[in-house]
A and B are shown apart, each in its own frame.
Chain A
Amino acid sequence: MDPAAEIAVPRASTDDDGAAAQRRAGNGGTAAGRAAAAQAVAATAVEAYPRIVAALIRITGDWTLAEDCTQEALERALDRWPVDGVPTNPAGWLMAVARNRLLDVLRRASVERRKLRDVAVLALTAATAEPMPDEEVVDDRLRLIFTCCHPALAPQARVALTLRTICAVPTADIARAFLISESTMTRRLTRAKTRIAEAGIPYRVPRGRALTERLPGVLGVLYLLFTQGYDADGEPAFAEEAIRLARLLVRLMPEQEEVTALLALCLLQHSRRTARRDTDGELIPLDRQDRSRWDHAAIAEADRLLTGLAGSGPYVWQARIAACHATAPSADATDWRRIAECYDQLVQVQPTPVVALNRAVAHGYAYGPATGLALLAEARVGGGLDGYPLTLAVEADLVARQGDRERAAELFRAAADRVSGDAERRALLKRARRTSGPAS
């Protein structure tokens, strides 16, 4: 299928939009009717797309075929809904059309009877025009997530496949985020799908020990997706996709505390999305942001999620740290001692150089720059932070607070030379100027 014909699923739609569009869409083929129908298709697809794709993959094992049939159902809806009106069960309508399309293709390909029978069973379930029993559908999407994030796939392929198959993000948008051409991304996605079949990667949610081992990988993909969207020069829609997926995962696996913590962490970071840039689009550091512009509903939701979590996994600690920042009434009122404590715990379960670096920052604010610099020196042992430009920015900040503003400005400039994002570079240069200039 021509990737250009893919239908973009808008990421910000809510159920309210869908219902409103549905009411407006009954008025035939007028321009307004078409626009309303298109909106209804998009709103329905947000929830329905991964469900339909996941169900069709389970039956056929053919990822590309499942996606193509689902896409064709969406296109049919765009054609029919403006004329016929939006059906009473839009998701069921899409499922029925996708399933019929699949039946056509399979009949023509004369596959063995078993698969046809399975499709027929599916047809019966969908024909009741009621949403399918939640248990089974939910299971399908979880299967899809775990398969997309299987460790036997290359890390980048996991993210791309998740975006394409579960979030229905057009290949062109994924390609842009990865800074490669659309045709290269199409080839990569095809290769990943081929590999799933050839290597024998199962379409299944692992159980027991395997689940414990695989879950961090799934959460890693989700968090990478989030940071891809949240990064200064990233694709903002990806952050919302990640939050949507994290919400789904929390619904599907409410007993997994790390999943809940990941959702809380994303919500807390995302709560600052409008406050972190000034009117020129430049990044504003946390301590200078206007806290009234933070999304306090999201912060409250994250806070509720975190209350009662007993866990001590890496996302639980990261979310607790983010909550300390988000709930502080002002930068000066931040509970740095609590944050330092959390980092002491986090570095135990996630002993990475970057965590050690952030721990130095936290201790620097809690107990003074000398303590921070001592921990920074410790974090640098082993060379894990060489080539990580923010190390220099951290050192600059600590040195500045000790009073050596010359040296601090020099370090900020050195950090700016090494970062890859333009927005971050400008923010660091601004700090260099502010540090060397008259005290503000």
Chain B
Amino acid sequence: MMLVCTDPEPDPEPSNHPDVEVWVAENDAAGRRLQGAQLAPASAATTVRVRKGQLLVSDGPFAEVKEMIVGFDLLECADLDEAIEVARAHPMAWAGRIELRPFADFEQ
């Protein structure tokens, strides 16, 4: 899972940032990108918690963070090095940050 996040300190040269359409086209063509989407802004978020059986619904993201998740992509990669190569080519690696996290392996 590739979580696409904002970052308070982006790369200072936006003209160098890669094109997201190219990135999507390349990884779709390679059969590596299984799914992916951009999320609505944090102002559209709703937080749900249950405490002592009571439903608590509130607006906004669950924490005041500067690095917010703005999208995700589901990738099929052989290993971390391949995933890093894919992530570095995404414009948000430059304008924000990307978190890579494999799915939990319950076989082990």
Contact = CB atoms under 8 A, between A and B. Distances in A.
B80 interface: yes
Interface string B30-68: 000000000000000000000000000000000000000
B102 A206 contact: no
Interface string A176-206: 0000000000000000000001111110101
B29 interface: no
B108 A210 contact: no
Contacts of A202: 78-82
Nearest to B77: A200
7 contacts: A197-B108, A199-B100, A200-B79, A200-B83, A200-B102, A201-B80, A201-B81
A36 B54 CA distance: 72
Nearest to B101: A199
B74 to A, nearest CB: 15
B30 to A, nearest CB: 17
A152 interface: yes
A211 to B, nearest CB: 11
Contacts of B79: 200-202, 204
B81 to A, nearest CB: 5
Interface of A: 150, 152, 197-202, 204, 206, 210
A206 B81 contact: yes
Interface residues of B, number: 13
B20 to A, nearest CB: 22
B81 A210 contact: yes
A202 B100 CA distance: 14
Nearest to B85: A210
A201 B78 CA distance: 10
Nearest to A146: B81
Contacts of A197: 105, 108
Query: 3 shortest A-B CB distances, which residue pairs?
Result: A202-B79, A200-B80, A200-B79
A144 B15 CA distance: 39
A407 to B, nearest CB: 40
A429 B81 CA distance: 49
B105 A204 contact: no
A409 B14 CA distance: 51
Interface in B76-108: 77-85, 100, 102, 105, 108
Nearest to B80: A200
B80 A152 contact: yes
B48 to A, nearest CB: 28
A319 B77 CA distance: 40
Contacts of A210: 81, 85
Contact of B105 (A152, A198, A201, A206): A198
Contacts of A150: 80
A199 B81 contact: no
Contacts of B105: 197-198
Candidate in A150, A198, A201, A206 with the most chain B CB atoms within 10 angstroms: A198
Contacts of B83: 200
Given A199-B102, A204-B81, A206-B81, 19 more contacts: A150-B80, A152-B84, A197-B105, A197-B108, A198-B102, A198-B105, A199-B100, A200-B79, A200-B80, A200-B83, A200-B102, A201-B79, A201-B81, A202-B78, A202-B80, A202-B81, A204-B79, A210-B81, A210-B85
Contacts of A152: 80, 84
B70 to A, nearest CB: 23
Contacts of A206: 81
